[in-house]
Amino acid sequence: MPVSSQSSTRWPKLMKPLIDRLVPGHSQAIQEESALTANPAHIDLQALAFRAEALNDRASALVSDGRRALADFEFELAARRFDEAAALQHVRRHVLDIQYSASSLGDQRTVHVVNASCIYDMYRQLISSQHEQIRFVAGSRIGAFITMERPIELKLDSASLGHASANPEFTRKLLIECEKFGSVFAAFFHAHPGNGPENTRPSSIDLATQEGYERGGYRAIGGIFSRDGYLRFFTHAMPFQVKIIGKGIENEGSCLYRLTEA
């Protein structure tokens, strides 16, 4: 939900020096909110994503310090650490709201371009096992166009017939690597058990994952295969288009496609 331009005035004045000391430079993220309605495209969504991650890491460290202080019966120190952690998490939620508002207001509809052979390769890989797998796709952004170029198998913490959980550290390093070489996170794909177009609909977990990417400023879209060759692209709230280059894939309407050679 977009944040109000008046929300920053609700911050207690005494909290600002505390948070400035813990995470220098965070105030810039708060101040950027006032620019959303004027020119949201100027907000650096990737910088905000890294800032939110830094806030979360620092808050987690403070919680650990607080627990150690409790174990040593240093109750006043523990209380201070927990209060500091709560303040940082409050800022982090605010930063995430700014990201979500900026991505909703500031970006035009993107066109995701992919070759049919790339889709077939991912389909065959993803249905090769009964356990669910996930493919991260890196690409390039050229204006309003995002290309899907390099599928990468995600390292998983767990996998079953209808569920897969990606390893957060592996995924984080992958996103950093994309940024380092000027690539973008273009899409992620997985397959659902069962046949037919109804088995390509995103689950609540799929939608929550996609919402997290959108709130992080990523323009990636999701893709879900059925076992018999249907494919549905989806997002949480981000508008998008898909352009498939090549043969062997037919559009069934409403972001639903069928692999005719599956």
pLDDT at residue 103 in the model: 59
pLDDT at residue 134 in the model: 85
Measured in residues, the chain has a length of 262
Question: d(Cα 26, Cα 16) in Å, to the nearest integer?
Answer: 10
189 membership: H or E segment, kind and range: strand 184-191
Residues ≥6 apart with Cβ < 8 Å to 178: 138, 184, 185
| Greatest Cα pair distance in the chain | 69
Q: Are 145 and 136 in contact (CB under 8 A)?
A: no
Question: d(Cα 147, Cα 237) in Å, to the nearest integer?
Answer: 20
pLDDT (tens, 9 = 90+) of the chain, 262 residues, equals 333 333 333 333 444 444 444 444 444 444 444 443 334 444 566 666 777 788 888 888 999 999 999 999 999 999 988 888 888 787 777 667 766 665 554 456 789 999 999 999 999 999 988 878 888 999 998 888 999 998 988 776 666 666 667 678 887 888 888 888 889 999 999 999 899 999 999 999 899 989 988 888 889 999 999 999 999 999 998 889 999 999 999 999 889 999 999 8
Q: Are 206 and 187 in contact (CB under 8 A)?
A: no
pLDDT at residue 102 in the model: 58
Domain ranges of the chain: 7-106, 110-259
Indicate left, alpha or beta for 179 from its phi (over 0: left) and psi (-120 to 50: alpha). Answer: alpha
CATH code assigned to 110-259:
3.40.140.10
Considering only CA atoms, give the Rg of the chain.
Answer: 21
pLDDT at residue 35 in the model: 43
Can you say how many angstroms the Cα of residue 147 is from the centroid of all Cα atoms in its chain? Answer: 18
pLDDT at residue 236 in the model: 92
